[in-house]
A and B are shown apart, each in its own frame.
Chain A
């Protein structure tokens, strides 16, 4: 199916659950609220003409700088192996208490990327069996891929060539 056909089919079947649709460069994209996500995903997986049986990836985006409402977004990429078509589900997530239901009951492959969403963005994944850090150390503070988490550099503590520490002190602007 082409992107338009997929969108038309999903819209006709679940008119209440789909907030919006888009067709950037021909890819089917649907916008879904967090509380409808599991229902939409189960429909996409089970419907015989859609049959999205393969979850390719889950990613998160923080739209803080764009000042979008809601601030966060989780993006799910689905394929159908038999029909060889794809769809993207974009789920807007509120800044206060960011939480989204898990899709790991439908696709086991979602377990790892959802855990990464918790680690990198601080989303609470409802129903996920393991809500703990995945990539960052267990005692890490903050969620690195949020836009308000600054990209910092680490001061080099020791070098054979140059005294970086004193250079850093020297290069600081004078305080008034």
Chain B
């Protein structure tokens, strides 16, 4: 029997369609179908200036806007060959880790809801709201922050934001314990997740899975450790790795990652460096507003940056970062002008879809929903 699931299905987390060939209740083959959310962001980026691409990267993986901003900015900065002030790097790290927590909270809430645990969903949304309030305080926007810019960040940290983060990191660990109390030893949860959707270490690597799905299959691979960026080498944190490769282990990896993210934020905020929040290079970032009335050079830089934008030297580069779903990377080709020649996103959800359908073959129809949830796909970055 052929069964069509999606694109409008509540548990496909967006407009994802999968065509299931069934033998009774067992899935024989799962054929994915994507493209329902194609917005042509890569094509659009080739016709916009570098700075104008940043708001579009927010919309790729809409649960992790700072991570996408960061990957794009790091790639551009690598081509520009500029150094970023320590304070800006620490602010970037804090924003990315907050986004990771918020993203994992959305994943945990919806994943648990798919499998039938209603309460966790409400708890997760409660804590996510605190992160979104922090986003609003520092960037003015709850979700599509566009906070990380080429050369630094958009604004310096404010007192209420820092106070809010101190409150959040005090409050949050007890809440993670609460989610675990509801799920980790829950017999229904364990029955629905243990030994289901298993992918071995070799298969996970061969299918190009990344992030928590790869680490749940026993691969110790985290871009923050293996290719550190934005000063991640200065923070002490663990990379959770489990060997089961099933839904339950992916759940445990992400739960532990939330604790580790909280740990990174704690370290970053305890020793938040003083100094600039963006590079003083006025070819890249706007000069301070108050200097425009006194300095001719500042006025010229301001005019040139606003009217022309940043000119990036000729070349090509690829910079990966570790997002909540895995490796997010931008491959940028520059032809020396103020418009990127080619922008390619390495989207972890896109790369994970064939592997996910591999997990579905041979499982029961009721577990398909759990497998989709455990990979945590975001269709915005799949279809781009």
A: which residues have CB within 8 A of B? 24-25, 27, 53-57, 59-62, 65-66, 75, 77, 81, 84, 86, 88, 107-113, 133-137, 144-145, 151
Contacts of A109 in B (CB 8 A): 206-209, 351, 354-355
Known A25-B78, A109-B208, A112-B351; contact A84-B38, beta-carbon cutoff 8 A: no
**A66, B315: Cα distance in complex, Å:** 12
Flag if A112 contacts B353 (CB, 8 Å).
yes
Check if B47 is an interface residue, CB within 8 A of chain A.
yes
What does DSSP make chain A's interface, helix, strand, loop or mixed? Answer: mixed
Q: Are B205 and A81 in contact (CB under 8 A)?
A: yes
23 contacting pairs across A/B (C-beta < 8 A): A25-B78, A27-B317, A53-B205, A54-B208, A54-B221, A57-B346, A57-B351, A59-B342, A61-B316, A61-B333, A61-B341, A61-B342, A84-B227, A86-B227, A109-B206, A109-B208, A110-B208, A111-B354, A112-B350, A112-B354, A135-B38, A151-B43, A151-B44
Contact A54 B38, beta carbon cutoff 8 Å: no
Question: Contact between A56 and B342 (Cβ–Cβ < 8 Å)?
Answer: no
- Point out the residues of chain A lying under 8 angstroms from B78, CB to CB: 25
Q: Which of chain A's residues have a CB closer than 8 A to the CB of B350?
A: 112-113
Which partner residue on chain B sits nearest A60 by CB separation?
B344
B interface residues, how many (CB within 8 angstroms):
43
CA distance A77 to B345 in the complex (A): 12
Closest CB of chain B to A81's CB: distance in Å?
5
Q: Find chain B residues with CB under 8 A from A81 CB.
A: 205, 219, 221
Q: Report the minimal beta-carbon distance from A26 to chain B, rounded to whole angstroms.
A: 10
Verify B34–A59 contact, CB threshold 8 A: no
User: Which chain B residues lie closer than 8 Å to A133 at the CB level?
Assistant: 35
1/0 contact string of B316-347 vs chain A (CB within 8 Å) = 11101000000101010101000001101010
Q: A-facing mask of B188-218, CB < 8 A → 1, else 0?
A: 0000000000000000011111100000000
Give the chain B neighbours of A66 by CB distance below 8 A: 335, 341
Question: Contacting B35 at CB < 8 Å: which of A53, A136, A151?
Answer: A136
Counting chain B CB atoms within 10 Å of each CB, the highest count among A56, A81, A108, A111 belongs to A56
Residue contact B353 to A56, C-beta cutoff 8 Å: no
- With A27-B317, A27-B318 as known contacts, state yes or no: A57 contacts B206, CB within 8 Å: no
Contact of A56 among B208, B219, B333 (CB under 8 A): B208
Report chain A residues within 8 Å CB of B383: 135
User: With A and B bound together, what is the CA distance between A15 and B38 in angstroms?
Assistant: 42
Measured CB to CB, the closest approach of chain B to A138, in angstroms, equals: 9
Alpha-carbon distance between A81 and B201 when the two chains are bound, in angstroms: 11
